[in-house]
Chains A and B, each alone.
Chain A
């Protein structure tokens, strides 16, 4: 009874082949390679420049020497090694992490407005940090980072929980609204904790966002975590491309959507949690960069993810440079600088109305 006619089966196979043909997604490998190569070169140059420029300007050759022929007796080399290098490397890591986290979220959920800041991850991680500062003042950076993951998870968990429980399902606007409310809640709680335990100073960096105090210890812990997460993201990229075409197509092509989502979420949490534990709450990177990248290289996430990482690093490295040079000796918060670009972009997306926004 259950045996279907041969013709039907053939038809199904034909259908699947057709879908598979359609899956040939629009992508521009050439543009992407150019972005990758050019981006990395520009990034290295930008990092060197960011190391060279500061309260004490240092010539580029000295930067080269400090990195490759370190001489502990020279003050310049000390400044570069101990203050500027960790900071610039931190900026690059954070940019890549936020951008890739945003790209994965946008791809997996087909939500053009996904961003770690907008969806409550940053605020959740920030609240976790506030708790740590208040109750476990001497906690190691590794501990802080782990709590930061948990906080990011709590934030995004509530946002998606609310979104999926409601009648209309997970629409982008619902998620953004839930994210705004969850962020308001976590920020309020953090403020309460900060006031009561008088840790406002420790937390201030987090509200504003900045990589000023980054140390080698932090880089040593963060770098492996982010690199592993980025590799994981790259390994998942093909599946994310398929998911971005819709659940039906992905399932039809034999993807285990549940499993991919789980891994994707884990990677996003690691990336966002790590980034927030270094730089604080910087939003909009995960929104702008993936959109820009998609415009440039097409919709194949095998290209989008590495290109986003490079472009995200570029954005934050230069934002940090600007933050230091706009109004010296004071530092302008990076979060505010990125928001200056991010907000108009968000408004543009909100007004443009695509995908039943």
Chain B
């Protein structure tokens, strides 16, 4: 009996490693295709030779200064948003939680917008400040949602959390529309495409601005995977097992909000990644967070990378914002999940 469980465990683990491998291969394939996609076409061979130092100056410029940072950022944002969604789904025990739907992204967006409308001249100089501001906005939205969906004696009410989130997001976007009136046309252009989810941070500076936050929060969440498993069993079981629920929950929530906020600062309003990534992962590797979290990250990274590539490729030379592509994929998926859920 014991050995059978052990065997099943081992099979699951090897299955998890297999899934991780598949995702990494897919990301590499998407990476190569994405490198080839753009206004100036480069053949795969040219890409390879440039990557290893054998390209012309123009090819190097295109690859290293334009495409590569954008691809790296897509991957980072995808991973960050998906892990954030995974944590939120785990904490609220609600399959439909996502930083976009819950209004956390909108909160981050509002801060970015406020900054742009007051200190517009220095958008490019503020690369490192923006993630921090976005984080504050995201945290404020999260606190508001938390307070409104908390009920004494019952804790966080998952369905109410979604409703409140939708309301908060609607309110914040109304505030943003009012703010856009202050803007000059070129600033408005920036904000409009930011809201549509056009990845605007396309240079290495943004990678540097985003990376510290991911380096801080991602390992923390992975480290807490076991705690998340326990929290998933429900409050009573978790308390019984000696976990101090409220503290752990707040810490994890802070990490999820931090991830979403810093990613949104660079990516703009991309929703649904935090929904799709974890779901796909759960389908493939099950509910254990030790494996679920990394696979979510990979799935999210793949999703955003593919969406960004499609956005650049499908209506050339127009560049469709990544957020639009993700929404076109993500919204039907959300509806599908909704029709399945027993809420």
Task: Please list the residues of chain A having a beta carbon within 8 angstroms of any beta carbon in chain B.
Answer: 113, 118, 158, 162, 165-168, 171, 173-174, 176-178, 180-182, 184-185, 187-189, 191-192, 195-196, 200, 207-208, 283-284, 327, 330, 332-333, 335-336, 339-340, 342-344, 346-347, 350-351, 353, 357
Interchain CB contact under 8 A, B327 and A351 = no
- State the CA gap A347–B327 with chains docked (Å): 25
- State the CA gap A332–B166 with chains docked (Å): 23
Please list 30 pairs of residues, one from A and one from B, whose beta carbons are closer than 8 Å in the complex, sorted by A's number.
A162-B338, A165-B339, A166-B338, A168-B341, A168-B342, A173-B163, A173-B343, A174-B343, A177-B96, A177-B101, A177-B334, A178-B335, A180-B166, A182-B335, A185-B331, A191-B196, A192-B315, A195-B320, A196-B320, A200-B192, A284-B170, A330-B181, A332-B178, A335-B174, A339-B171, A346-B167, A350-B160, A350-B167, A351-B148, A351-B164
Interchain CB contact under 8 A, B160 and A188 = no
Flag B243-282 by CB within 8 Å of A: 1 or 0 each. Answer: 0000000000000000000000000000110000000000
- B318 within 8 Å of A (CB atoms): yes
- State the CA gap A332–B179 with chains docked (Å): 9
Q: Which of A113, A184, A336 contacts B178 (CB under 8 A)? A: A336
Interchain CB contact under 8 A, B163 and A343 = no
13 extra A-B contacts, CB within 8 A, seeds A167-B342, A184-B331, A283-B170: A158-B335, A162-B335, A162-B338, A166-B340, A173-B159, A174-B343, A177-B101, A182-B331, A196-B320, A208-B177, A336-B178, A343-B170, A351-B160
Instruction: Tell me the nearest residue of chain A to B340, going by C-beta.
Output: A166
Instruction: Tell me the nearest residue of chain B to A175, going by C-beta.
Output: B338
Interchain CB contact under 8 A, B321 and A195 = yes
In the complex, which residues of chain A have a beta carbon less than 8 angstroms from the beta carbon of B181?
Answer: 327, 330, 332-333
CB B175 to nearest CB in A, in angstroms, measures 7
Interchain CB contact under 8 A, A340 and B148 = no
Q: Which residues of B147-184 have CB atoms within 8 Å of chain A's CB atoms?
A: 148-149, 159-160, 162-164, 166-168, 170-171, 173-175, 177-178, 181
Instruction: Tell me the nearest residue of chain B to A165, going by C-beta.
Output: B339
In the complex, which residues of chain B have a beta carbon less than 8 angstroms from the beta carbon of A189?
Answer: 324, 328
- State the CA gap A235–B68 with chains docked (Å): 64
- B332 within 8 Å of A (CB atoms): yes
Instruction: Tell me the nearest residue of chain A to B171, going by C-beta.
Output: A343
Interchain CB contact under 8 A, A180 and B101 = yes
Interchain CB contact under 8 A, B177 and A346 = no
- B323 within 8 Å of A (CB atoms): yes
| Residues of A contacting B: mostly | helix
In the complex, which residues of chain A have a beta carbon less than 8 angstroms from the beta carbon of B173?
Answer: 339
- Number of chain B residues whose Cβ lies closer than 8 Å to a Cβ of chain A: 43
Q: A162-B335, A165-B339 are in contact. Are A336 and B177 (CB under 8 A)?
A: yes
CB A333 to nearest CB in B, in angstroms, measures 5
Q: Which residues of B302-323 have CB atoms within 8 Å of chain A's CB atoms?
A: 315, 318, 320-321, 323
Interchain CB contact under 8 A, B331 and A166 = no
- State the CA gap A189–B332 with chains docked (Å): 12
In the complex, which residues of chain A have a beta carbon less than 8 angstroms from the beta carbon of B160?
Answer: 350-351, 353, 357
- State the CA gap A166–B334 with chains docked (Å): 13
Instruction: Tell me the nearest residue of chain B to A342, going by C-beta.
Output: B170
Instruction: Tell me the nearest residue of chain A to B145, going by C-beta.
Output: A347
In the complex, which residues of chain A have a beta carbon less than 8 angstroms from the beta carbon of B272?
Answer: 184
Q: Which of B164, B171, B178, B321 contacts A333 (CB under 8 A)? A: B178
Interchain CB contact under 8 A, B166 and A336 = no
Instruction: Tell me the nearest residue of chain B to A190, going by C-beta.
Output: B324
Interchain CB contact under 8 A, A192 and B328 = yes
Interchain CB contact under 8 A, B174 and A177 = no
In the complex, which residues of chain B have a beta carbon less than 8 angstroms from the beta carbon of A191?
Answer: 196, 321, 324
Interchain CB contact under 8 A, A346 and B331 = no
Q: Which of B149, B175, B178, B338 contacts A181 (CB under 8 A)? A: B338
CB B238 to nearest CB in A, in angstroms, measures 25
CB A332 to nearest CB in B, in angstroms, measures 6
Instruction: Tell me the nearest residue of chain A to B331, going by C-beta.
Output: A185
CB A112 to nearest CB in B, in angstroms, measures 11
CB A328 to nearest CB in B, in angstroms, measures 11
Interchain CB contact under 8 A, B148 and A347 = yes
Q: Interface centre among A158, A178, A181, A208, by most B CB within 10 Å?
A: A181
In the complex, which residues of chain A have a beta carbon less than 8 angstroms from the beta carbon of B271?
Answer: 184
In the complex, which residues of chain B have a beta carbon less than 8 angstroms from the beta carbon of A185?
Answer: 327-328, 331-332
Q: Which of B170, B175, B315, B341 contacts A166 (CB under 8 A)? A: B341
- State the CA gap A34–B96 with chains docked (Å): 45
Interchain CB contact under 8 A, B170 and A178 = no
In the complex, which residues of chain B have a beta carbon less than 8 angstroms from the beta carbon of A200?
Answer: 192
In the complex, which residues of chain A have a beta carbon less than 8 angstroms from the beta carbon of B341?
Answer: 166, 168
Instruction: Tell me the nearest residue of chain B to A209, going by C-beta.
Output: B177
In the complex, which residues of chain B have a beta carbon less than 8 angstroms from the beta carbon of A330?
Answer: 181
Q: Interface centre among A188, A207, A208, A340, by most B CB within 10 Å?
A: A188
